[in-house]
Amino acid sequence: MANDLGSSRPGALIDLAQPLRAKRAWWGRLAILAKRKPLGTASASVILALILVAILADLLAPYDPIKTSPKSRLVPPSRQYLMGGDHLGRDIFSNIIHGARLSLFVGIVSVMVGTMTGSLIGTASGYLGGKVDFGAQRFIDTLMAFPTLVLAIAIVSFLGSNVINVLFAIGITIIPTTSRVVRGSVLSVKENQYVEAARAIGCGPLRIMGMHVLPNVMAPIIILASIALGGAILAEASLSFLGLGVPPPAASWGRMLGGESIRFMAEAPWILVFPGLAITIVVLAFNLLGDTVRDVLDPRLRGTR
């Protein structure tokens, strides 16, 4: 018995040490990736900071973003008002912090809706072929005939300005590109032997698409979603700039750039400079992160940059 207990202890110690070694290896790979992709690391840091700001907006904002004060009207940046005040006497810094919450929410949800819908259409179109493929691709051709922003403007103008309609409009503009890319990947994957084997043992089309085809085209889907996030945030800002975004009193970076603010551009340039910088930095961070994700997940680009 003593020998059994003695022989079992090293095994137990080894089992306990394995998760620790796996964790160290994971952190090591992450450190190597951060060293190889400094722009991706910097962009990921900016996005993580944006997420924290959005979550803690109520705690970080020094003032109510919709509260006006005659004393702070067009005041320049100072210790009390870090980014100055706008033409209505609202604190610009507080509006930018709360606007991050709206931009992040609209960007993530619209990209999820558009990417999931486009992926399902592309998968069904590429695998089933025939009339399904023909009908789906003619629908995609119709969507692609309209410029992205024009299509979003048309949808919001028809449905009305609210959060749901803005999400729907931006999500619709993401569907065509996602569908085309996923369809091309599915046409390649469905010729593999494991798909033919699943078909030979009697698996139905839905099971094959869900269990064997879609999981093997997830890499391009993730790449498309990461790249589309920056465009979705920019589209929301553009709609708000045109007065078609999320209606007031919700804080929006795009609305801060439009409306009556333009009249005070020469007198108080900080009204437009800080919201414009926020949009530029966040969109650039998402675009750089999308490029990094593409380089990591696309086997054709690994080791090239």
**With b meaning 16 or more CB within 10 Å and e meaning fewer, what string describes 103-120?**
bbebbbbbbbbbbbbbbb
Containing H/E element for 33? helix 2-36
Separation CA 296–CA 103 (nearest Å) = 26
Class of domain 44-297: mainly alpha
DSSP helix/strand/coil, 301? coil
Q: Domains of the chain: which residue ranges?
A: 1-36, 44-297
Assess contact for 136 and 121: CB atoms under 8 A: yes
Peptide bond before 249: cis, by omega within 30 degrees of 0? yes
pTM: 0.80
The one-digit pLDDT tens for each residue of the chain (305 residues) are 444 444 444 444 445 455 545 555 666 666 676 677 778 788 888 999 999 999 998 899 888 888 888 888 888 888 888 888 888 888 899 999 998 988 889 889 999 999 999 999 999 999 888 899 999 999 999 999 988 889 999 999 888 888 899 999 999 999 999 999 999 989 888 888 888 888 888 888 888 888 888 888 888 888 888 888 888 988 888 888 888 888 877 888 888 887 777 788 888 888 889 988 999 999 899 888 888 887 777 655 555 55
List all residues 6 or more positions away from 270 whose beta carbon is below 8 Å from its beta carbon.
76, 77, 83, 84, 92
pLDDT digits (tens, 9 = 90+) for 118-167: 999 999 999 888 899 999 999 999 999 988 889 999 999 888 888 899 99
